[in-house]
Chain A
Amino acid sequence: MTDNPYLRLTREFNEGKTRAIICSGQAVVLHGLAVMSKDGDWILRENESDLDHVLSVLQENGARYRFGAPLALPWMRMGWSSHFEFQDQDLRIRTDFFTRPPRLTLEQLSALWTEQESATYPVTDLVTLSRLKLTNRERDYSVIGEIARRLENPSDQFLWSRSVRDLIRLAKEHSSLASSLTERRALLVFAIEANADRLGEELDRERRQHIRTNERRLEAMQALMKDWRSHWAVLQNEIRDLPLRQAHEMCVEAAARLLPSE
């Protein structure tokens, strides 16, 4: 069977237990939507032993820390992300991790773990992937637009579609459902009215609002890591030739002083 570095890592992370769910760019691939990212992203279970297992796998693969939070509970609980890199033959592999992905409630996260528990390759479902894709990158809204066409539930299609034509067609086919969803997505009023110009304007406005919201979230997090960022070059020079676990311990020690945690 043809293997892939991100599938191999997912199997290693999940050996004996589901600890890691593929999300973001490589989830887009596994759903057969597009190939557009070199990096792998995973949502991890938020407990010490599972983070420790993932760290061991990364060490076995010769990974080093990139700038980011330590892969440890106090920072994961606060929504920070951890980043690593290693070489797999001719491929540069980058791995990104969090336990509290943005825009998912704890209930949605818990349901995701339950759904993916026995999957060979645990991956975020299409609605969850759409939530994660409400980023500040324009291209992610194209992905959401295509995801919406793959959703089976008309309610989900109404809530996620980014197509003027699709929304007007859906509103004709499910008029009472469209009306019932206007409280959750106000622009559906213009789909019901078949007002294509206004609906297009509102879809643009909605995208810009999502982008601004995410930018504000990132700006707030990045302001909190100012001291950590200033110290990183020094720390990186100290840990660059160390085995990952040893580097991790030094990262944790330094982050305890410089990076806000829960």
Chain B
Amino acid sequence: MPLRDEFLSEEDLDLANLPFEELVAYWNLWLRQAQATNDLDAREYSHGVMVGCKEPPLEGVENHDG
């Protein structure tokens, strides 16, 4: 089998073969598991023009910069 440049994981590439219902079920499972990092990214922005910004801390609210 000829080599090819790999961009995404096998797991990711398999998503294209899933029926819509199963894709949504996998998506939901991933979102649930990803909640584990909510404290770590509580003040982070990953999208829009704020990307890379930290939300300014609120007075009297603990910040999670660690």
Does B associate with A?
A: yes
In angstroms, how far is the closest chain A Cβ from the Cβ of B57? Answer: 6
Of A2, A5, A240, which one neighbours B31 at CB under 8 angstroms? A5
| Residue pair A91, B32 in contact (C-beta under 8 Å) | yes
| Residue pair B50, A68 in contact (C-beta under 8 Å) | yes
> Which residues of B sit under 8 angstroms from A45, Cβ to Cβ?
none
| Residue pair A81, B49 in contact (C-beta under 8 Å) | yes
From A25, A35, A82, A83, name the one whose CB has the most chain B CB atoms within 10 angstroms: A35
> Which residues of B sit under 8 angstroms from A97, Cβ to Cβ?
48
A16 within 8 A of B: no
Q: Determine the distance from Cα of A146 to Cα of B15 in the docked complex, in whole angstroms.
A: 12
SS class, residues of chain A in contact with chain B: mixed
Q: Determine the distance from Cα of A232 to Cα of B52 in the docked complex, in whole angstroms.
A: 17
Of A1, A38, A67, A145, which one neighbours B50 at CB under 8 angstroms? A67
| Residue pair B28, A4 in contact (C-beta under 8 Å) | yes
> Which residues of A sit under 8 angstroms from B46, Cβ to Cβ?
25, 37, 39
| Residue pair B56, A90 in contact (C-beta under 8 Å) | no
Given A2-B24, A33-B15, answer yes or no on A237-B8 (Cβ-Cβ < 8 Å).
no
* Chain A count of residues within 8 A CB distance of the other chain: 55
| Residue pair A81, B50 in contact (C-beta under 8 Å) | yes
A256 within 8 A of B: no
| Residue pair A91, B49 in contact (C-beta under 8 Å) | no
| Residue pair B15, A233 in contact (C-beta under 8 Å) | no
| Residue pair A166, B5 in contact (C-beta under 8 Å) | yes
Q: Which of B14-45 contact A (CB under 8 A)?
A: 15-18, 21, 23-28, 30-32, 34-35, 37-38, 41, 45
> Which residues of A sit under 8 angstroms from B41, Cβ to Cβ?
38
Write the A1-18 contact mask toward B (1 if CB under 8 angstroms, else 0): 111110100000000000
A143 within 8 A of B: yes
Hey, which bits of chain A sit against chain B, CB under 8 A?
Answer: 1-5, 7, 24-25, 29, 32-35, 37-39, 41, 66-69, 79-83, 90-92, 96-98, 135-136, 142-143, 145-146, 150, 162-166, 218, 221-222, 225, 229-230, 232-233, 236-237, 240
Hey, which bits of chain B sit against chain A, CB under 8 A?
Answer: 3-5, 7-9, 12-13, 15-18, 21, 23-28, 30-32, 34-35, 37-38, 41, 45-53, 55-59
10 contacts between A and B (CB under 8 A): A2-B25, A5-B31, A34-B8, A35-B30, A37-B46, A81-B47, A90-B32, A92-B38, A96-B48, A222-B49
